[in-house]
Structure 1
Amino acid sequence: MNHSIESIRDIYCVGRNYAKHAEELGNDIPDEPLLFSKPLSSLAFADGNELTFPGSKGEVHYELELVLKIGKDVEEGDLLDDIVTEMALGIDLTLRDIQAQLKKKGHPWLRAKGFRNATILSEFFPFPGENELKQIPFSLVKQGETVQKGYSEQMIFSCSKLLEECQREFGLKKGDLLFTGTPEGVGPIQNKDEFQMYFAGDLKGQFLVKIES
């Protein structure tokens, strides 16, 4: 599989970037990108192997996303197509019950988003360009059924807008990853579930779920 954890730096994510996903969770649609990060220690690869997840912390929800890989240190005036040469599909896993408790208390989400294997990546593949990407479907199949499908043109904040926001707030460097949000259809994983991730109908990654008691 085409990946190397040594080439990956920081992991930035955006929440509620598809209107129907925000609605399905009962959340307001944001007026600016809702940004958070995930630790590198949470990274795993969808290379056909079994991945282990906690079974004692409530429901673990899958969220399929398009992932952009920053190809060079970003400078003022850089355009998305100039700095992103590779992309992947990713799954941002969430301990949904714990996240709800943390949100209720006004606490950070890290415990719900940064656990082991909470950030799953497919192989990397060439980035087609932002305009071309808008027309290319991506999807997640669980137990033979398509549970999520989306297009980047459905995003509330475009890939360019997300890059601009992250660059202004944090500064983006070569090797950074940008998870761009998930379409509707999120749900819980179950023990022995099999997942496949597709881009333009091509299989890009797959894994088997093991829930620990």
Structure 2
Amino acid sequence: MTDHDVIPAPPTPRVPVRGGGTFPVRRIYCVGRNFADHAREMGATAPASKAERGQPTFFLKPADAIVTDGEAAYPPGTADLQHEIELVVALGQDAPPGVLDRDAAQALVFGYGLGLDLTRRDLQAVAKAKGLPWDTGKAFDQSAPVGELVPAAEAGELAPRKLSLTINGQLRQQSRLDQLIWDVPDILCELSKLYALRAGDLVFMGTPAGVATLQPGDACTGRLDDLLELNCRIAPPRV
């Protein structure tokens, strides 16, 4: 008797790559409170120095939360959908066993993109107040719009680049990437202590201050200087 799927296999989510091809997504890791100004905005204490950073906050989104067609539906169950613009790191190699050092971590990176960590803030707030996981606030359908990926060799040095988000043409969020509490190699090293990182993984690196409410019809435009752009419209709720 031959093994076979008893239901159709779902398609693998894929992100377009500049210059051609697509990047199949295995898993989405997200970093919370990775800009000091956003940590303070959320009521948390921001570290005064790298020595005081402690451990980063991680959560996950399902791979099928990816949106690449420029439109995300306003989700059910919330009255406070909020935007969080983020640098996205795409891994092109499996990590070797054990904890990564910075050079080995950087070597895993295939490229970079921009993503929106859409958040049902009211549901997240309830979960946080009760000491519960953030899944209902973070890991919902179409909660991860992502733009095209650019290979790491084209991106060059990230630290001085400016991450920004406008909503309907009005600037909401802006910060240089050198303001990250944990940079890309830092985060990959920390993740390697907890997970087996693999080719196809995406890492959302955290958002600067300025998160705010979105409404159906809002047009979101994220930029990383002139290197990357993400455009996404918030569509009416599905009925």
Task: Tell me the TM-score normalised to structure 1 length.
Answer: 0.90
Partner of 2:139: 114
The residue correspondences of 1:150-189 to structure 2 (distance < 5 A) are 150-189=175-214
Partner of 1:69: 90
Q: What is the CA-CA distance between 1:22 and the residue it aligns to?
A: 0.8
Over 4 Å off, 4+ runs: 3-6, 128-131
Unmatched segments (≥5 aa) in structure 1: none
- Aligned letter for 1:150? S
Q: How many pairs does the alignment contain?
A: 211
Describe the shift of the 1:130–1:157 C-alpha distance in structure 2 as closer, same or farther (beyond 3 A). farther
The residue correspondences of 1:17-36 to structure 2 (distance < 5 A) are 17-29=34-46, 31-36=54-59
For residues 111-136 of structure 1, give each alpha carbon's deviation from its aligned partner in whole angstroms, at most 9, with x where no partner exists: 11111111110111122589810011
Q: What is the CA-CA distance between 1:59 and the residue it aligns to?
A: 0.2
Higher relative contact order (CA 8 A, sep 6+): 1
1:59–1:97 CA contact under 8 A, matched in 2? yes
Describe the shift of the 1:119–1:50 C-alpha distance in structure 2 as closer, same or farther (beyond 3 A). closer
Partner of 1:192: 217
The residue correspondences of 1:1-213 to structure 2 (distance < 5 A) are 2-3=16-17, 7-29=24-46, 31-45=54-68, 47=69, 49-54=70-75, 56-75=77-96, 76-77=100-101, 79-128=104-153, 132-202=157-227, 204-212=229-237
Q: Which has the larger radius of gyration?
A: 2
User: Identity of counterpart residues, as a percentage?
Assistant: 33
Distance, in Å, in 2 between the alignment partners of 1:6 and 1:136 is: 24
Deviates more, 1:29-38 or 1:3-12: 3-12
Task: Tell me the TM-score normalised to structure 2 length.
Answer: 0.81
State the SS of the aligned residue for 2:193.
Answer: helix
Q: What is the CA-CA distance between 1:28 and the residue it aligns to?
A: 2.4
Q: Please give the root-mean-square deviation of Cα atoms over the aligned residues, in Å.
A: 2.2
- Aligned letter for 2:67? A
Describe the shift of the 1:131–1:161 C-alpha distance in structure 2 as closer, same or farther (beyond 3 A). farther
Distance, in Å, in 1 between the alignment partners of 2:174 and 2:122 is: 24
> Greater share of strand residues, 1 or 2?
1
